Amino acid sequence: MSKKARREGQREERSNGVGGFLDGLSNLLGKLGELADKGEELRKTGEFGGGESGLRGVYGFNIKVGLGEEGLRVEPFGNVHKDERTGEAVVSEISEPLVDVFDEEQYVLVVAEMPGVADDDIDLALKDDILTIAGKRGQKKYRKEVLLPQSFACERMSYTCRNGILEVKLSKGSEEGQEK
Rg (CA), the chain: 20
Strand partners, 130: 127, 147
Question: 63-98: per-residue pLDDT in tens?
Answer: 766 655 556 667 777 787 777 788 777 778 888 898
Please tell me the CATH code under which domain 97-180 is placed.
Answer: 2.60.40.790
Positions of CATH 2.60.40.790 in the chain: 97-180
Alpha carbon 161 to chain centroid, angstroms: 17
pLDDT of residue 89: 75
Confidence label for 13 from pLDDT (cuts 50, 70 and 90):
very low
Cβ burial 117-151 (10 Å sphere, 16+ → b, else e): beeebbebebeeeebebbbbbeebbbbbebebeee
| Each residue's pLDDT tens digit, 26-77 | 555 555 555 554 555 555 555 555 555 555 777 777 776 665 555 666 777 7
pLDDT greater at residue 66 or residue 142: 142
Contacts of 49 (CB under 8 A, 6+ apart): 56, 57
Shortest CA distance to 93 belongs to which of 78, 77, 83, 82?
78
Residues forming beta bridges with residue 73, ordered by sequence position:
64
pLDDT at 14: 42
Strand partners, 47: 58
